[in-house]
Amino acid sequence: MAAFVCERLFDGWTPEQISGWLSAGNEALASVSFETIYDWIYGPTQKAGKLWKLLVRKRATRGRRKAYDAIAER
């Protein structure tokens, strides 16, 4: 599974495309969600491999958006 995901990332696929391809049953592999692929890419075991450089945004860390606080604006 890891080799398949790495190959597709090197080919320019996004985790969403990889997940969709696997979910459609095009391979004899189990399907995984794109969140699982992102977690694997940003996990401590793959951080040194720098697979995050193959992603569209090319960021070393994955951040969540901060909630907009309309009350604090007043």
Token readout for 4 is 């398949």
Q: What is the pLDDT of residues 13-56, one digit of tens each?
A: 989 999 999 998 888 888 899 899 988 888 887 666 777 778 86
The beta strand positions in 1-74, using DSSP E, are none
- Measured CA to CA in angstroms, residue 14 lies from 27, 37, 73, 74 at distances of 17, 10, 36, 40
Q: What is the pLDDT of residues 49-71, one digit of tens each?
A: 777 778 866 666 666 666 666 66
pLDDT of 73 strictly over 60: no
